[in-house]
Amino acid sequence: MTEPNELKVEALLDIINSSARKAMAEYKNTQHGVPSVDAGTFHPLDLATDTLALRKAIRLLEGACEQLNTILAPPQHTAYNFVNNYNWACIDVAVQSRIADVLDNHPEGLSVDVLADAVNLDKTKIARVLRVLALRGCFKEVKRDVFANTRISLVLKATNNVGFLIKFERELPKYAAVLYETMVDQEFARSDKVERTPRAFVLGKEGKHNSFWEMDVSFKSHEQIFHKAMMGYSEVQAASAVLHHYPWDNVRSVVDIGSGIGAMSISLAKMFPHLSITSQELPETIKLSRKTCETNSPELLLDGRVEFVPLNFLKESPVVGKDVYYLKSITHDWPDEESRVILHNIRKAMGPNSRLLIHDCVLSRAFEQPDVGANESSEVSAPEPTLLNFGSHTTHHLDMTMWFLFNGKERTLKEFKDIGQVPSMPGYIDDV
């Protein structure tokens, strides 16, 4: 008789096999086949706006593979692997020195001697960095000491938004390093204020006391990197899938709240010409957003399909009476108190048939009550014996990022419901 633990391993192997085949099918459906690990160009599916089916398959595949390793590897091995990882540091070297940009002009490969001269770094150290990354399919060594790009390293080019995201996050290890200190510090330990983050703790020791958002306004280079990074974050999260999986045909007007430089507003307007879209952001950012639209999509302004209206969502309500109020990656930036203020301000602008669309990650936790007042589909829960969140730690790591930077957080469905119960009038609680 097969032991229960062995049955779980067999189940994980089945999940790995089936999810890998689903991913392969998505690639093959493009008529371009499955990509190779050292492909030097993007696969068409890499640039598609709707990769939801592929992402679901990869979510299962990654989680099951990692869980299988955790079960079968000695615990000492697994525990050490938690910290014995410097891919982030090597990626940072590649991005800061623009190695992928240099190699882009040499698809056949470039010797480490010439590459080192081009980026003004030591050739031996560059080779060590690139070999670490090549083990994960990021760059490839085509022959001894000759390196070339792969479809992963192409993401690191200076023109790619994901490269800006990596630049934006390069300080995170510094903030993560003081996490325990902030949890025992008298001022920081029990505070969820935006002024009491691990980031603020580090900067305070350096004599700086700006909040993240003040820093964003004060330094134009930081602001540019931030907005490009948020576009990169949307690509990483495949946020453009919402263009294909929400009934926009049944909607006439949309308010994109906290819209950044308007990437989603512009995409929506192009894909659904019948929509009237209002993009709302802080005054300085909304100027940049309008300028971006004037440069890249002037027809949307000429046709009046997109308008740009300044908004401080902590102090003001958005434009009133629209069909959909869209919040993408906003509430996770803020603690519960500020999130409730944002939602309360939106509630005041909504009409009787308006809808709020929150586009954010959702956490799963053990022993969470299943009835959260949301329309849960069977896809929310991972298949047995996969761990919570499909065995993937990505959402929980994003939760840590929000903590380090803003004292924000990713939320469960129940927590979204809790912050969504905002007062619309004295003595009455209304679900947004």
List own/partner pairs for 266-275 with CB under 8 A and 24 or more apart: 266/292, 266/293, 266/296, 266/297, 266/300, 266/306, 267/49, 267/240, 267/243, 268/243, 269/297, 269/300, 269/305, 269/306, 270/297, 270/300, 271/243, 272/248, 273/305, 274/249, 275/248, 275/251, 275/305
Angle between helices 220-236 and 283-296 (to 10 degrees): 70
Where are the strands (E) in 292-387, listed by range?
Answer: 306-310, 324-328, 355-359, 362-363
The rounded distance, in Å, linking the Cα atoms of 147 and 303 is 48
- Please provide residue 41's backbone torsions phi and psi, each rounded to the nearest 5 degrees: -135, 160
List own/partner pairs for 12-20 with CB under 8 A and 24 or more apart: 12/64, 12/67, 12/68, 12/71, 12/385, 12/386, 13/68, 15/60, 15/61, 15/64, 15/383, 15/386, 16/61, 16/64, 16/65, 16/68, 19/57, 19/58, 19/60, 19/61, 19/64, 20/57, 20/61
Does the annotation mark 396 as catalytic? no
Two tokens, residue 9: 């391993």
Do residues 344 and 422 make contact, with C-beta atoms less than 8 angstroms apart? Answer: yes
Do residues 280 and 258 make contact, with C-beta atoms less than 8 angstroms apart? Answer: yes
The rounded distance, in Å, linking the Cα atoms of 274 and 101 is 40
Question: Which one is catalytic: 332, 344, 393, 397?
Answer: 332
Report how far apart the first and last C-alpha atoms of the chain are (Å, whole number): 53
The strand pair at 306-310 and 276-281 is best described as: parallel
The rounded distance, in Å, linking the Cα atoms of 377 and 300 is 36
Give the up-direction half-sphere exposure of residue 211: CA atoms within 13 A in the CB hemisphere: 10
Catalogue the active-site residues.
332
